[in-house]
Structure 1
Amino acid sequence: MAEVDGQEKTEQPTSKKLSDARKKGQVAKSMEINSLAVFGSGLIMIYLTRSYFGNKFFELANDTFSRLNTLKINSDMVQEYFLKWALFFFAITAPILLAVFVFSFLSNVAQVGFKFSPEVFQPKLSKFNFVKNAKDILFSTRSLVETLKSLAKLAVISIFTYYILTDLVEKSMELVQLTIEETVSFMLDAAISLIWKIVLLFGVIAGADMIFQRFKFKQDMMMTKEEVKEELKQTEGDPVVKQRIRKEMFKISSKRMMKDVPTADVVVTNPTHFAVALKYDMTKDAAPKVVAKGMDELAQRIKKIAKENNVPLHEDIQLARTLYKACDVGDEIPAKLFKAVAQILAYIYQMKRIKKRKSIV
């Protein structure tokens, strides 16, 4: 298990770390897949246009060999044949180069998706630290692994190619008896035979390398517990600070609620765990509102202030619990509770009128 400052990387990489790594161009990508795309696309184009290549070879060879007896070497002749060979080279390589470019681009997109990372191209002074760069190239674990992998790949391909070419060399002894068209056809068939077999080998190597690169990238992206905590602080804020802010906000809202309790018409209790203070102004409110609510200790404080200010307390276990869960401070009560609350308020108003009459008498 990898370590950072003595701490093991035991945590899976967060989405933020993966996103930051992607912006910097750090992704799980296999260069062997790109090599496979180059060889594969070249093989496909050679196979699809083999007749076209054969005709071009035949035309150039026939033109050259038919003029050998009358050919005079001078500057005009050199310019003429230079132009012919240049056009010939462009004509036969252009389709292959285009296919290689397209397939190489698609192979990169298939591996990591399409995303332009400008940070990769930004100049950094650290890139010009030749001593450090030379050390990373020559003595790092990554460079050693890549070197060993390249040597192993070269050895496997060399041995594989040797056995294929041995067979082709034996067959090429018969070329002296063939015409130009047959010789060109043999050369194309031999090239295709060699390349598609190497492509198959590259496919096996690329598949194994892709698995290795994904595994290595995942290991490199692993995080320590401390790194996860630090990232959480950066993205969501320090949990300690957030908790302190929540406590302060709760204190402020509690003080505001306590100031509104004396204005309530009634406090519904359950009677020990919940207390909900309701107020209803028929001239402007569509329904009674919750001006304060609390549970346990806060509920007892609401009840105490209500008693001190002669706000009626009404005990209803189920209603108090339902109001506490359904409403926040400042909310109007839901329609399903209208009837129950209306009966309580009607009773409270009736008791106030009776007390008022008695006081007048």
Structure 2
Amino acid sequence: MPNFEGQEKTEQPTGKKLEDARQKGQVAKSSEINSLAIFGSGLIIVFLFKSYIGGQFYEFSTDIFSKLNQVEMSHTVLQTYALRWGVFYLMLMMPILIAVFIASIVSNVSQVGFRITPEAISFSLDKFNPLKGIKRILFSTRSFVELGKSLLKLVIISIFTYFIISELIRKSIQLIDLSIEDTVEFMLDSSFSLIWKIVLFFVVIAAVDYIFQRYKFRKDMMMTKEEVKEELKQTEGDPVVKGRIKKEMMMAARRRMMHEVPKADVVITNPTHVAVALRYEMGKDGAPKVVAKGLDLVAQQIKKIAAENNVPMYEDVELARALYKTCEIGDEIPANLFKAVAQILAYIYQMKKLKKQKSII
């Protein structure tokens, strides 16, 4: 594993590094957004259903208090009232709990998208290491930042709460003259007044924290030049190895090409810099095919193999250049070169025929 410690991180993170970080559960996410979503959804539900909640509290409280002087207090009676109160409270708070649960999921998905990362939730003994836990909590930059945010929120919320509760205490003197229904409504309105001020504060905190988290995450993901090079090697292959493989492939292709030269009908030359070997099988090929071609040293090698195997060579500078530029190995020659090549092949075939006749005589 290469060591990149001490090197300056000047490069933007690559897509692969961001994806690897995401697989590990490392994403730019603000916990303050979740807090805002929870507070906000709770506030909206309380505001929308405050009349209903107040009415339910009024009916339940009236029912209980109206019967207190008619029942004999006992352990069983107290248990019954406690159970009734628990069920009532749970059913009354259920819409708020559901809204808060949905809001927390939506806030997470909206920030990082929906994706299950097994590596992030996998079991690891390191997560239960108390020393690492203490180090992570007490000696990390993140822990100090989170501590600072928590203290700031605590101070501001405490100030809000102090002034609001002070005002509520002053107004609560009037409760003695109010009915139970009016008292419950007063309590709900007071709670709403306190919560919406806290939510407004959380909006500011969440916006600032979200920007900070994205900036910090991007900064943490920055890479050194060597990391980028190493990743490039891993994804696309080592350039040295790729170059060696490419060279081997070219040499193998050249060897295959040279094996086809002895089967050629003619080699068109430049005369020294270009050589193109052609073959034509009557009845099989639609036109003559290029079976080998090359420049300089490769051209000389083609000519050498052709001479060793008695393959005719024909010098035509313009035709050799045109064939080399327009044709690849295995291609049939273009139509505009048919006439020139046909004349050469006809000449070659005529020469072979004459030579064969002379050898018979």
The match for 2:316 among 290, 309, 314 is: 314
| 1:110-129 correspondence runs (5 A) | 110-129=110-129
Contact 2:293 2:324 in 1 (8 A): no
Looking at structure 2, the residues matched to 289 and 354 of structure 1 have their Cα atoms a distance apart, in angstroms, of 20
- Does the 8 Å contact 1:261/1:305 carry over to 2? yes
Q: Say whether 1:342 aligns with 2:358.
A: no
Counterparts of 1:188-267 in structure 2 under 5 Å?
188-267=188-267
AA aligned to 2:197 is: K
What is the rounded CA distance, in whole Å, between the counterparts of 1:29 and 1:273 in structure 2?
65
Structure 1 position 344, deviation (Å): 2.5
Q: Distance in 2 between matches of 1:80 and 1:315?
A: 110
Q: Any idea what the Cα deviations from partners look like across 1:280-332, whole Å, max 9, x if unmatched?
A: 222322343332233454345435544563233433266335424xx3x2344
**1:128-147 equivalences in 2 (<5 Å):** 128-147=128-147
Which amino acid in structure 1 is aligned with residue 186 of structure 2?
F
Q: How far 1:271 sits from its partner (Å)?
A: 6.6
Distance 1:128 1:66, change over 3 A: closer
Distance (whole Å) between structure 2 residues aligned to residue 259 and residue 7 of structure 1: 53
In structure 2, relative to structure 1, the CA distance for the partners of 1:244 and 1:167 (3 Å cut) is same
C-alpha distance in 2, partners of 1:209/1:271?
75
User: How big is the alpha-carbon RMSD for the aligned residues of Structure 1 and Structure 2?
Assistant: 2.4
Distance of 2:13 and 2:105 partners within structure 1: 28
Whole-Å separation in 2 of the counterparts to 1:231 and 1:294 = 37
Q: Given the alignment, which residue of 327, 346, 352 partners 2:348? A: 352
Residues 201 and 266 (structure 1), Cα distance of their counterparts in 2 relative to 1, 3 Å cut: farther
Q: CA deviation at 1:267?
A: 4.2
Name the CA distance, whole Å, in 2 between partners of 1:37 and 1:145.
21
Check if 1:323 corresponds to 2:326: yes
Compared with structure 1, are the counterparts of its residues 315 and 277 closer, same or farther at alpha carbon in structure 2 (3 Å cutoff)?
same
Give 1:272 shift: 6.9
Distance 2:133 2:121 in 1: 17
5+ unaligned residues in a row in structure 2: which ranges?
none
Tell me, what secondary structure is at the counterpart of 1:17? helix
1:56-104 deviation per Cα after TM superposition (whole angstroms, max 9, x unaligned): 1011111122223323211332132122101111111111111111110
Contact 2:34 2:104 (8 Å CA) reproduced: yes
Q: What amino acid is aligned across from residue 87 of structure 1 in structure 2?
A: V
Do the aligned partners of residues 154 and 265 (structure 1) sit closer, same or farther apart at CA in structure 2, a change above 3 Å counting? farther
Contact 2:267 2:312 in 1 (8 A): no
Distance 1:273 1:198, change over 3 A: farther
Question: 2: distance between equivalents of 1:276 and 1:357?
Answer: 23
SS in 1 for 2:294: strand
In 2 relative to 1, CA 242–185 (structure 1 residues): closer, same or farther, beyond 3 Å? same
2:193 is paired with a residue whose SS is helix
Name 1:32's counterpart in structure 2: 32
- Give the 3 Å change call, closer, same or farther, for CA 92–299 of structure 1 in structure 2: farther
- Residues 249-288 of structure 1 mapped to structure 2, 5 A cutoff: 249-267=249-267, 275-288=275-288
The alpha-carbon deviation at position 109 of structure 1 amounts to: 0.4
Distance in 2 (CA, whole Å) between partners of 1:97 and 1:198 is: 19
Determine the C-alpha separation between the residues in 2 that align with 1:194 and 1:295: 86
* Residue type of the alignment partner of 2:151: L
SS class of match (2:190): helix
Deviation digits for residues 336-358 of structure 1 (CA, Å, limit 9, x no counterpart):
x22x2321231022212442454
Contact between 1:32 and 1:205, CA under 8 Å: does it hold in 2? yes
Equivalence for 1:5: 5
Report the equivalent of 1:55.
55
Deviates more, 1:148-157 or 1:25-34: 148-157
**Structure 1: tracts of 5 or more residues without a match:** none
